[in-house]
Amino acid sequence: MNWNFSSTGIETAPVSITLAVGIAAAAAGIYIILKRSPRRTLAALRIAAMALALFLLLQPSFVRYNVSKRPALAVAVDVSDSMALSGSMAMARQFIKERKDELEKNFDVRWYSFARAATRVENEAAAFSARRGKSTDITGSLEEIRRENGESLAGILLLSDGNQTETNPGSVGAAVFPVDVRPAARPKDIAVRSVRVSDFAFKGTPIDINVGLHAMGAAGEVVTIQVKKKESAEILASKAVTINSGDETREVPLRFTPSSNDNLDCTVEALPVPGEITLSNNRASFSLEIIKDKVRVLYICGQPGPEYAFLRHRLKNDPLVELVSFVILRNPENIALVPENDLSLIPFPVHELFTRGLYTFDILILENFTYQRFGFYAEHLETIRRWVMEKGGGLLMIGGDNAFGRGGWAQTPVAAVLPVTCDTPQDVFDEALFKPRIASYENPLLQLYDDPKQNRAAWDALPELEGCQALGRKTGSEVLMLHPWKNYVVMACGESGNGRALALGANTTWRWALGSATTESYTRFWKNVVRYLSRTGGQKKLHVAFDQPEYTAGQNFNLKVRYNDDTKAGLLRGYFYEPSGARHELALQKRGAAEWTASGVFKDAGDYRFTLYDTVDGAKKILGTFIRAAGASGEKEDSALYFNEEALKKLAVSSGGEYYGAGSFSAEKLRGKTIKTATKTAKNSLALWHSPLLLATIVLLLLAEWILKKRAGMA
Amino acid sequence: MAKVLVLFISVFLILQPLRAAQRDRFVFAQLRYDAQWDPYPETWQDILEFLVTTTSIKPEAGRRVVTLEDEQLFSSPFLVIAGTGRFPALSSKERDILRRYCTNGGLVFAEDSSGTRSGAFDVSFRREIARVFPEVKLKKLAAEHPMYRSYYLLRRIGGRRLTNTFLEGIDIAGRTALVYSQNDIIGAWAKDRFGNYLRECLPGGQPQRFEAQKLTLNLIMYSVTGTYKSDAIHQQYILEKLQR
């Protein structure tokens, strides 16, 4: 038993200071008394009383440490399925068999078994014979052990494979000492650990899938990975890979091309190899939304300038757009100072583009472009009109000196589909900076944000445009923006036959990108334009996100739905079918302008089919159907049959413990590590500052001073 | 009072045409900063003349001189930063502005006009750019970069000095937002008042000067067409021409 002096009042050197003051005061007192001076005697008494009072203010106490010869050590044995299946349990059993005496000689050993939760058991035999667990919560179990033992626990010796299947962000609060119990001979197992794939794909365009594969004890085996349709089991992609080592993790790339417009629910399966210990980790699922095709945009610009550079960059960076563009870099009047071979120019393929070629595009953008100088025939112009009216193409004409009437378009068949009346070459091109007057913030083309206030604020914050063509209103078209004082139409849209057309009288929208705090509004505006002109939207309206990538039976789920309906604010509803066929309504709660949440439970293992629908004008419109699979409880254990050394090392470091590799464990070494913890925690203290004796001493010293003063006639 | 009013209106009317609308025209903007920012004050005129003569680009007449805190910076998507001496440390606000300018679509062409390696401008500018873009570094532009093909098919780069055989740049969201040269490309344009080139181009002489002039034009063309010449439709033509 040790007694140490401590003070809780001040952290740094309080005791030594107090003692030094006390000793100095006492020494001074003795010296003064020895001098036999009554005045100095009085001063000495006062100083002694004050020093003692100061000493007590620091709350001194004597601390008694109980240093046990055998500190308490919890031995925690992981009894989850993964330990048994992987062979780690046998290794842990062997470890205890060999080290039990050594442990009990050095420690007061407390035995625990754990999987999802910890249980105190009598001895090691009971620990290993405990019921196997279907899931593992290492952190939670160890925290429970620490709580049960309090601060007397010197540490936790952990015998586990390190695979935690339950989410638990907590910390243990005690030093953890994991031991390497990986099996000498690995059992054979092939596991699909992850599937990396985009959540949408285009019909007719190959999509890449990267399958994360883990193979254990299967060196030299050939494993076949297949991607199948969930419903029909039709094989979409397949690849055979040879496993090179006994413990191998690799990514297997696969590719297939969706051939229909239907969304796909798929499974990825590693076909079983003979002798696998479990097959429940050989599969994974994913869903793909199939988009008809990328929106194909043909962008023709008459003169290089910032508008072209900015809009081209925007369209090129849109994954849903396939852009083909031409910009006129040289006019006939420009001089070539080098041979043609030293120029990067290519001929402008007017005939190819404006006959059949145009029919392969969804959108045509003509920016500051005149047809008059590039060999257009009347038939090419008629093709543009027919492409809009009959094929349903989307035409956008953007202003400039060569656009609309100035570019000679007023007298062409193209003018018939434009949603504005063209200017004439004699009309004044207003060159001033201006903020367009928005005619309708509610129009989907001008909805930068769902929230009306935020949308209006975004438009207000955009920088001014510069220069506007004198365009006029056209019957049947919708005016979206007007020039604030000239009343020219800045932007208008309209339907033309099967197609749509949009007119923009200014080619300075690049200012919205460069001059704003971010390019967000500019990007949203042009996305809206592409959506409008292509009709398809080209964008995913319905986004569903679950709170976990995988579920097992019995788990709750939370899902978030984003539904961007650009036509009407519909009423979103949903339901789901259990594997047994029982139907349940989804209790969707509206959380924002376009956001809903819902929750529920996957009661049994199997596929759950969710359906979301909208009820616009009383009619039910199915928005999407998707499947989520819930694995059988214990499947997570089966999918984690490798020894997770990295996780165990992390746990050791974060808790202040140490990881013991194969053969490096020694109970004495462990005791050396834990003894400090034990000394610090097992304390018993005697508080001096509570002592009535010392308080009485102060009173007596002051009383003595007062009596002496009185006697000496100094009071 | 009437005289003052007439004078005011006259001055206003005289000055009005000077502010011609820029609209979608190319603007040659140059950064003014607190040091030797303008080593070649007249070269922009020859550059713009060359541009108008040989390409369809319509530039705004005149050079626009801006500071980083000037509102006009955000009306000028192409910005030249040149210097021979130490580039001053930017304030936190100026760094944010330069970063926003490049991120939102602006293109900076920066040049150490001393034409030397590790000169005062080079060291200080690199340090400052590392502060503006801590997450990305200046890197060599590949020989296939669209800037070397945006108008002229360049097989080598020029400049008043051949300090480097490459340009460097910083890429943001799929485009090069800052181009850096140590070859004094703008210096290759400098002329005296009689029209004679002011400084010799070494070691390649006049051909090296012409390469610098073509590169200047390609830089400007890149600023208004972006990665246009990387499109698949151009590749076959360009490869065939380069092989001739």
CB A281 within 8 A of CB A635: yes
Tokens of B42: 């007249």
Beta bridge partners of A242: A222
For residue B46, list chain A residues with Cβ-Cβ distance below 8 A: none
Task: Answer yes or no: do B229 and A338 touch at CB < 8 A.
Answer: no
Edge-to-edge strand list for the sheet holding A2-7 = A2-7, A60-65, A683-687
Q: If 0-12 CB within 10 Å is exposed, 13-18 middle and 19+ buried, where does residue A21 land? A: middle
CB B62 within 8 A of CB B26: no
To test the contact with chain B by mutation, choose from A504, A514, A520, A526 the residue with the greatest count of B C-beta atoms within 10 A, namely A514
Q: What pLDDT sits at residue A132?
A: 75
Q: Which of A246-250, A631-635, B1-5 is predicted least confidently?
A: B1-5
Q: Among B109, B110, B106, which Cα is nearest to B83's?
A: B110
DSSP structure string for B155-210: SS---SB-S-SS-EEEEETTEEEEEEESS-TGGGG-B-TTS-BSS--BTTHHHHHH
Q: Which pLDDT tens digit goes with each residue over A401-415?
A: 999 999 999 999 999
Chain A residue with Cα closest to B232: A324
Identity of the residue in B24, B214, B221 whose CB atom sits nearest the CB atom of A368: B24
CB A474 within 8 A of CB A421: yes
Residue A61 has pLDDT above 90, yes or no: no
Q: Among B68, B69, B56, B65, which Cα is nearest to B26's?
A: B56
Task: Answer yes or no: do B226 and A316 touch at CB < 8 A.
Answer: yes
Instruction: Give percent above pLDDT 70 in chain B.
Output: 92
Tokens of A260: 């229909």
- The total of other beta-carbon atoms located within 10 Å of residue B212's CB is 25
Identity of the residue in B151, B214, B233 whose CB atom sits nearest the CB atom of A329: B151
Residue B8 has pLDDT above 60, yes or no: no
Residue B95 has pLDDT above 70, yes or no: yes
Mean pLDDT of chain B: 91
Whether the bond into B203 is cis, omega within 30 of 0: yes
Min distance B117 CA to chain A CA atoms (Å): 30
Q: Which pLDDT tens digit goes with each residue over A106-161?
A: 899 999 999 888 899 988 888 888 777 777 888 889 999 988 888 778 899 999 98
Min distance A456 CA to chain B CA atoms (Å): 22
Q: What pLDDT sits at residue A129?
A: 84
When pLDDT is averaged across residues B60-75 and rounded to a whole number, the result is 95
CB B210 within 8 A of CB B157: no
Q: Which pLDDT tens digit goes with each residue over A677-715?
A: 444 444 556 667 677 777 888 888 888 888 888 877 765
Angle at A151 between CA A148 and CA A152, to 5 degrees: 90
Q: What pLDDT sits at residue A544?
A: 77
- Residues whose CB falls within 8 Å of the CB of residue A241, separated by 6 or more in sequence, listed in order: A213, A222, A223, A225, A250, A252
Q: What pLDDT sits at residue B12?
A: 42
Task: Answer yes or no: do A515 and B106 touch at CB < 8 A.
Answer: no
Q: Does the beta carbon of A177 lie under 8 angstroms from any beta carbon of chain B?
A: no
- Residues whose CB falls within 8 Å of the CB of residue B224, separated by 6 or more in sequence, listed in order: A304, A305, A306, A308, A309, B26, B57, B78
Task: Answer yes or no: do B223 and A517 touch at CB < 8 A.
Answer: no
Residue A421 has pLDDT above 80, yes or no: yes
Q: How confident is the model at residue A629 (pLDDT cuts 50, 70, 90)?
A: confident
Q: Does the beta carbon of A475 lie under 8 angstroms from any beta carbon of chain B?
A: no
Q: How confident is the model at residue A63 (pLDDT cuts 50, 70, 90)?
A: low
Task: Answer yes or no: do B105 and A346 touch at CB < 8 A.
Answer: no
Cα separation of A253 and A255, whole Å? 7
Q: What pLDDT sits at residue A137?
A: 86
When pLDDT is averaged across residues A79-102 and rounded to a whole number, the result is 87
- HSE value, Cβ hemisphere, 13 Å, CA-based, for B12: 6
Min distance A237 CA to chain B CA atoms (Å): 29
Q: How confident is the model at residue B113 (pLDDT cuts 50, 70, 90)?
A: very high
Tokens of A62: 């004597």
Measure the CA dihedral B166/B170/B176/B178, to 10°. -90
Cα separation of A81 and A280, whole Å? 13
Identity of the residue in A302, A327, A467 whose CB atom sits nearest the CB atom of B228: A327
**Which has more pLDDT, A57 or B223?**
B223
Q: Among A28, A31, A3, A20, which Cα is nearest to A55's?
A: A20
**Which has more pLDDT, A302 or A593?**
A302
Cα separation of A254 and A71, whole Å? 56
- HSE value, Cβ hemisphere, 13 Å, CA-based, for A391: 21
How many Å is the Cα radius of gyration of chain B? 19
Q: Does the beta carbon of A360 lie under 8 angstroms from any beta carbon of chain B?
A: no
Q: What pLDDT sits at residue A201?
A: 79
Tell me the angle at which helices A38-57 and A692-711 cross, rounded to the nearest 10 degrees.
160
Task: Answer yes or no: do B152 and A342 touch at CB < 8 A.
Answer: yes
Q: Does the beta carbon of B164 lie under 8 angstroms from any beta carbon of chain A?
A: no
Q: How confident is the model at residue A25 (pLDDT cuts 50, 70, 90)?
A: low
Cα separation of B111 and B184, whole Å? 6
Q: Does the beta carbon of A428 lie under 8 angstroms from any beta carbon of chain B?
A: no
Q: Does the beta carbon of B93 lie under 8 angstroms from any beta carbon of chain A?
A: no
Q: What pLDDT sits at residue A567?
A: 47
Q: What pLDDT sits at residue A294?
A: 82
Beta bridge partners of B140: B168
Q: Which pLDDT tens digit goes with each residue over A633-684?
A: 655 666 667 788 888 998 898 888 899 987 888 888 888 877 654 444 445 5
When pLDDT is averaged across residues B68-81 and rounded to a whole number, the result is 97
Cα separation of B10 and B33, whole Å? 33
* Strand (E) or helix (H) holding A701: helix A692-711
Q: Which of A556-570, A654-668, B55-69 is predicted least confidently?
A: A556-570
Cα separation of A84 and B82, whole Å? 70
Amino acid identity of residue A254, one-letter, is L
Cα separation of A179 and A184, whole Å? 14
Q: Among A216, A422, A394, A222, which Cα is nearest to A297's?
A: A394
Amino acid identity of residue A516, one-letter, is S
Q: What pLDDT sits at residue A440?
A: 84
Tokens of A276: 């696998």
Q: pTM of the full predicted structure? A: 0.59
Q: Where are the alpha helices (DSSP H) in chain B?
A: 2-15, 43-54, 92-103, 120-132, 205-225, 232-243
Cα separation of A563 and B66, whole Å? 45
Residue A568 has pLDDT above 50, yes or no: no
Instruction: Give percent above pLDDT 90 in chain A.
Output: 37
**What backbone phi and psi angles, to 5 degrees, belong to A105?**
-70, -35
Tokens of B201: 């181009």
Q: What pLDDT sits at residue A704?
A: 84
**Pairing label, strands A589-592, A583-585:** unpaired
When pLDDT is averaged across residues B155-177 and rounded to a whole number, the result is 95
Q: What pLDDT sits at residue A170?
A: 66
**Pairing label, strands A499-504, A489-496:** antiparallel
Q: What pLDDT sits at residue A29?
A: 62
Q: How confident is the model at residue A16 (pLDDT cuts 50, 70, 90)?
A: very low
Q: What pLDDT sits at residue A565?
A: 58
Residue B182 has pLDDT above 90, yes or no: yes
Angle at A410 between CA A406 and CA A415, to 5 degrees: 130
Q: What pLDDT sits at residue A549?
A: 66
- Residues whose CB falls within 8 Å of the CB of residue A135, separated by 6 or more in sequence, listed in order: A80, A115, A116, A165, A166, A552, A633, A634, A636, A637
Measure the CA dihedral A114/A118/A119/A121, to 10°. 60
Q: If 0-12 CB within 10 Å is exposed, 13-18 middle and 19+ buried, where does residue A114 land? A: buried
Q: What pLDDT sits at residue B3?
A: 55
Measure the CA dihedral A222/A227/A228/A230, to 10°. 120
Identity of the residue in B103, B106, B152 whose CB atom sits nearest the CB atom of A343: B152
Q: What pLDDT sits at residue A64?
A: 58
Q: What pLDDT sits at residue A69?
A: 65
**What backbone phi and psi angles, to 5 degrees, belong to A178?**
-75, 150
Cα separation of A12 and A2, whole Å? 22
Cα separation of A166 and A223, whole Å? 29
DSSP structure string for A405-473: GGGTGGGSGGGGTSSEE---TTS--EEEEEPPEES-TTSGGG-SSSSHHHHHHHHHHSPPEEEE---EE
Residue A539 has pLDDT above 60, yes or no: no
Q: Is the ipTM of this complex over 0.85?
A: yes
Task: Answer yes or no: do A467 and B21 touch at CB < 8 A.
Answer: yes
For residue B77, list chain A residues with Cβ-Cβ distance below 8 A: 306, 309-310, 510, 514
- How far from B55 is each of A217, A328, A331, CA to CA, in Å? 67, 9, 7
Tokens of B145: 């970069």
Q: Does the beta carbon of A330 lie under 8 angstroms from any beta carbon of chain B?
A: yes
Q: Does the beta carbon of B223 lie under 8 angstroms from any beta carbon of chain A?
A: yes
Instruction: Give percent above pLDDT 70 in chain A.
Output: 85
When pLDDT is averaged across residues A207-233 and rounded to a whole number, the result is 90
Q: What pLDDT sits at residue A624?
A: 74
**Which has more pLDDT, A69 or A394?**
A394
When pLDDT is averaged across residues A396-402 and rounded to a whole number, the result is 95
Q: What pLDDT sits at residue A538?
A: 40
Tokens of A183: 């099996």
- Residues whose CB falls within 8 Å of the CB of residue A643, separated by 6 or more in sequence, listed in order: A86, A88, A161, A162, A180, A181, A182, A183
Task: Answer yes or no: do A342 and B153 touch at CB < 8 A.
Answer: yes
Q: Would you say the C-alpha torsion A353, A356, A358, A360 has a positive or negative sign?
A: negative
Q: Which pLDDT tens digit goes with each residue over A349-382?
A: 999 899 889 999 999 999 999 999 888 999 999 9
**Which has more pLDDT, A381 or A70?**
A381
Task: Answer yes or no: do B24 and A515 touch at CB < 8 A.
Answer: no
When pLDDT is averaged across residues A611-631 and rounded to a whole number, the result is 75
Identity of the residue in A313, A328, A466 whose CB atom sits nearest the CB atom of B22: A466
